[in-house]
């Protein structure tokens, strides 16, 4: 059986970017075709290629270990057809087998184009855009847009931040952080300013 026909048993790259496929490609780029590579080296390579997929929620400049580890687990899970393309020597060391190297080389052009840092986006991008739309349609935002000096009562922020009257303060702030990060990524300085005022209101006990 020729190498090309042997590879026919493995599926081609997926139509859309996937974290488990990205981890496999990152292992190849990190030298996993020639030697054993520490998983942390693989995670850093994956983060370099797709920072929005593997970053902290509040620090997009830092890789989130749990997200990377989950992607590796998905790659090695029993329902992953690509799991047989890599070998595991210990908890931290991985290497591509011959089929894995051949698969990456066969699809190198597709994978390079698909997983360039300028192309790969996070699945959360659409959710972030939806979050921003919900904010800008809220009565609270519309009031602020008409009068930036408006004062907010905490109860007015319940629906927009999806909180209850008894919700802990740190949860309120975490919701603000999510909106602020989405606004910064989307270049929405208006919503950044708005959320800054909302945060100040919450810090002052409900009004500003």
Report pLDDT for 2: 42
DSSP character string of 105-139: HHTHHHHHHHT-TTT---THHHHHHHHHHHHHHSH
Phi, psi of 95 (to 5 degrees): -155, 145
* Statement to judge: residues 53 and 155 lie in one domain: no
178 pLDDT band (50/70/90 cuts)?
A: confident
Whether residue 91 is predicted with pLDDT greater than 50 in this model: the reply is yes
38 beta partners: 93
Q: Tell me the pTM.
A: 0.57
* Statement to judge: residues 41 and 144 lie in one domain: no
Q: Which residues of 176-187 are buried (b: 16+ CB within 10 A; e: fewer)?
A: bebbbbbbebee
Domain count for the chain, please give it.
2
* Statement to judge: residues 24 and 73 lie in one domain: yes
* Statement to judge: residues 98 and 185 lie in one domain: no
Report pLDDT for 125: 55
* Rounded Cα–Cα distance for residues 125 and 133 (Å): 12
Residue 171 within a domain: yes
pLDDT digits (tens, 9 = 90+) for 184-196: 877 889 999 999 9
* Statement to judge: residues 81 and 134 lie in one domain: no
pLDDT digits (tens, 9 = 90+) for 98-135: 999 999 999 999 998 888 754 555 454 566 778 888 99
* Statement to judge: residues 17 and 108 lie in one domain: yes
pLDDT digits (tens, 9 = 90+) for 4-31: 546 678 888 988 889 999 999 999 999 9
* Statement to judge: residues 60 and 149 lie in one domain: no
Residue 197 within a domain: yes
Residue 120 within a domain: no
- CATH number, position 24: 1.10.10.10
* Rounded Cα–Cα distance for residues 71 and 77 (Å): 10
From 114, 133, 148, the end of a domain falls on 114
Residue 208 within a domain: no
* Statement to judge: residues 19 and 110 lie in one domain: yes
pLDDT digits (tens, 9 = 90+) for 58-90: 777 788 999 999 999 999 999 999 999 999 999
Report pLDDT for 130: 81
Of how many residues is the chain composed?
Answer: 208
* Statement to judge: residues 106 and 133 lie in one domain: no
Instruction: Domain of residue 96: give its range.
Output: 3-114
* Statement to judge: residues 109 and 11 lie in one domain: yes
Report pLDDT for 204: 82
């Amino acid at each position: 059986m020729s190498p090309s026909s042997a590879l026919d048993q493995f599926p081609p790259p997926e139509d859309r970017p996937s974290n488990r496929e990205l981890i496999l490609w990152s292992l190849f780029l990190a030298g996993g075709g020639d030697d054993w590579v520490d998983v942390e080296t693989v995670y850093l390579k994956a983060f370099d290629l797709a920072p929005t997929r593997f970053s902290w929620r509040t620090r997009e400049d830092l890789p989130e270990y749990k997200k990377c580890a989950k992607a590796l687990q998905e790659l090695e899970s029993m329902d992953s057809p690509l799991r047989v393309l890599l070998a595991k020597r210990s908890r931290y060391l991985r290497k591509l087998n011959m089929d894995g190297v051949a698969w990456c080389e066969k699809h190198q052009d597709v994978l390079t184009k698909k997983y360039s840092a300028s192309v790969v986006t996070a699945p959360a991008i659409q959710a972030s855009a939806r979050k921003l739309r919900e904010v800008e349609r809220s009565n609270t935002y519309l009031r602020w847009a008409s009068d930036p000096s408006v004062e907010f009562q905490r109860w007015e922020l319940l629906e927009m931040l999806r909180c209850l009257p008894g919700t802990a303060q740190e949860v309120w702030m975490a919701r603000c952080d999510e909106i602020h990060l989405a606004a910064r990524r989307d270049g929405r300085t208006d919503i950044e300013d708005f959320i800054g005022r909302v945060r100040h209101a919450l810090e002052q006990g409900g009004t500003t």
